[in-house]
Amino acid sequence: MKITILVLLTSLFTTGHLIAQRPIEHFFLNVVRHRIQEKSFLDSDIISGARLKYTWPELEPEKGVYNFDLIQSGLEILEANGKNLFIQVQDVTFDTTIINVPKYILEDPIYHGGVEIQIGHIIDGTEYAIDGLVARRWDKEGARRFHHFLTALGEKFDGKIAGIDLPETSICCGTVDMHPMGFSNASYRDAVKENMHVMKEAFPTSTVIQYANFVPGD
């Protein structure tokens, strides 16, 4: 079986200062979550655990109603085999047929649609490719719900899971005249920073990581 390794550098920094240092750990990357039961993975003594992806809507199917059974069942399987769980929470997709925000966010006008299309590369000089959908991370009302969700997740799993990470910061919104309502490079940057702050408050014990590749406006 081909195994992809995620190397997590678990030295934690805050305001530029090293506050903790631990050995490098190796986690099996997996979207197909049932594969954590495969013998070749469970028997490996060089892989600390699995990093599994979950989507925001499957964990919060209704407003303020959380379904963490999927995470709990995976955690129990891994713990029973001496493995750790690292999770990623998805609020973005690169497939326009998949929406990774809860249904109530899409339906209530207070959230201004809940998601925005990602406008990618220019096809012929005038036409832009649509690369997927992303939660309106910069939207105050939507962000407030996401923060409530992270807090509930931390109350349930801080110290029990090895860590949590949020997906890539890179989104594409086209030229300035194409930017969605309320979006600016600065507002997006600030929203990413606020998510990081809330996530660390929710998970003071488990490792927290923001997967950062680039942000709009560099």
What confidence score (pLDDT) does residue 105 get? 97
The share of the chain scoring above pLDDT 90, in percent, equals 58
What confidence score (pLDDT) does residue 174 get? 67
Return the SS3 of 188.
Answer: helix
More confident residue, 204 or 1: 204
Q: Which residues pair with 164 in a beta bridge?
A: 87, 208
- DSSP letter string over 18-73? EEE----EEEEEESSGGGGG-HHHHT-SS--EEEEEEEHHHH-SBTTB---HHHHH
Return the SS3 of 160.
Answer: coil
Pair of tokens at residue 40: 């070749």
pLDDT band at 126 (very low <50, low <70, confident <90, very high): low
* CA angle, 68 then 72 then 78, to 5°: 150
The share of the chain scoring above pLDDT 70, in percent, equals 82
User: Which amino acid makes up residue 196?
Assistant: M
More confident residue, 42 or 122: 42
Q: Is pLDDT of 82 > 70?
A: yes
**Domain-by-domain residue ranges, the chain?**
5-90+138-171+185-210
Among the four given CATH numbers 3.40.630.30, 3.20.20.80, 1.10.760.10, 2.60.40.10, the one describing domain 5-90+138-171+185-210: 3.20.20.80
Rg (CA), the chain: 18
Q: Is pLDDT of 152 > 50?
A: yes
Q: Is pLDDT of 35 > 50?
A: yes
Q: Is pLDDT of 57 > 80?
A: yes
What confidence score (pLDDT) does residue 122 get? 63
- DSSP letter string over 110-168? GGTTSEEEEEEEESSSS-EEEEEEEE-TT-HHHHHHHHHHHHHHHHHHTTTSSEEEE--
Q: Is pLDDT of 187 > 90?
A: yes
pLDDT band at 21 (very low <50, low <70, confident <90, very high): low
pLDDT band at 4 (very low <50, low <70, confident <90, very high): very low
In terms of Cα–Cα distance, which of 72, 172, 54 is closest to 120? Answer: 172
Q: How far apart are CA 95 and CA 216, in angstroms?
A: 20
Looking at residues 179-199, what average pLDDT do you find?
Answer: 91
pLDDT band at 94 (very low <50, low <70, confident <90, very high): confident
Q: Are strands 207-210 and 17-20 parallel, antiparallel or unpaired?
A: unpaired
Q: Is pLDDT of 43 > 60?
A: yes
What confidence score (pLDDT) does residue 31 get? 64
In terms of Cα–Cα distance, which of 131, 128, 132, 140 is closest to 115? Answer: 132
Q: How far apart are CA 31 and CA 16, in angstroms?
A: 33
pLDDT band at 132 (very low <50, low <70, confident <90, very high): confident
Q: Which residue has the tokens 């079986």?
A: 1
Q: Is pLDDT of 197 > 70?
A: yes
